[in-house]
């Protein structure tokens, strides 16, 4: 029969195991946990434009980047 653990018991076991790891392994573990959470929750947009604002297309953004580089290089 499978053993059912409470959240606290699970966390306690994770902490006991993590205490045995060196610093680099702990950083790797933490990074993997964060990535797993991001995959589960999804990545939220960095900015939320107000309603009615037209978002630029990729072509418009590429044109802006090209123009800005061209203007910057001419200085």
Tens-digit pLDDT profile for residues 15-52? 999 999 999 999 999 999 999 999 999 888 778 888 89
Supply 43's token pair: 């990545």
Average pLDDT of span 4-19? 90
- CA geometry: angle at 43 spanning 10 and 18, to 5°? 25
| 45 against 63, higher pLDDT | 63
pTM score: 0.50
Among 22, 3, 23, smallest CA distance to 13 is for 3
DSSP, residue by residue, 10-74: HHHHHHHHHTTS-HHHHHHHHHHHHHHHHHHH-PPPS--PPTTPPPPPHHHHHHHHHHHHHHHHT
């Amino acid at each position: 029969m499978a053993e059912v653990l409470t959240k606290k018991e699970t966390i306690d076991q994770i902490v006991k195991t993590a205490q045995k790891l060196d610093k680099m392994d702990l950083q790797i573990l933490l990074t993997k946990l964060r990535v797993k959470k991001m995959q589960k929750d999804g990545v939220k947009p960095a900015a939320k434009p107000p309603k009615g604002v037209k978002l630029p297309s990729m072509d418009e953004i590429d044109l802006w980047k090209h123009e800005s580089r061209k203007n910057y290089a001419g200085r």
